[in-house]
Amino acid sequence: MDTQAQIAVVTGAGSGIGRAVAVELAAAGWTVALAGRRAEPLEETAKLAEAAGGAALAVVTDVSSPTEVDALFATVRDTYGRLDLLFNNAGTFGPGGVPTDELGYADWQSVVQVNVTGAFLCAQGAYRLMKSQSPRGGRIINNGSISAHAPRPHSVAYTTTKHAMTGLTKSLSLDGRPYGIAVGQIDIGNAATDMTHRMQTGILQANGELAVEPVMDVTEVARTVHHMAALPLAANIPFATVMATTMPYLGRG
Please give the distance of CA 190 from its chain centroid, rounded to a whole number: 14
Q: Is 158 a catalytic residue?
A: yes
Domain that holds residue 228: 3-192+218-243
The answer to whether residue 250 sits within a structural domain is no
Q: What is the pLDDT of residues 46-73, one digit of tens each?
A: 999 999 999 999 999 999 999 999 999 9
Low-confidence residues in the chain, pLDDT < 70: 1-5, 195-197, 252-253
The answer to whether residue 201 sits within a structural domain is no
Distance linking the first and last C-alpha atoms of the chain: 40
- Residue 2: the pLDDT is 42
Secondary structure element (H or E) that encloses residue 22, with its range: helix 16-27
Nearest to 167 by CA among 206, 115, 224, 127: 115
The answer to whether residue 13 sits within a structural domain is yes
The answer to whether residue 202 sits within a structural domain is no
Catalytic residue among 80, 105, 127, 158: 158
Secondary structure element (H or E) that encloses residue 166, with its range: helix 156-176
The answer to whether residue 188 sits within a structural domain is yes
Query: CATH number, domain at 181?
Result: 3.40.50.720
The answer to whether residue 206 sits within a structural domain is no
DSSP state of 37: S
- Residue 1: the pLDDT is 39
**pTM value?**
0.93
The answer to whether residue 251 sits within a structural domain is no
- Residue 253: the pLDDT is 61
Q: Tally the domains of the chain.
A: 1
- Residue 210: the pLDDT is 83
Contact predicate 137/127, CB 8 Å? no
The answer to whether residue 208 sits within a structural domain is no
- Residue 252: the pLDDT is 60
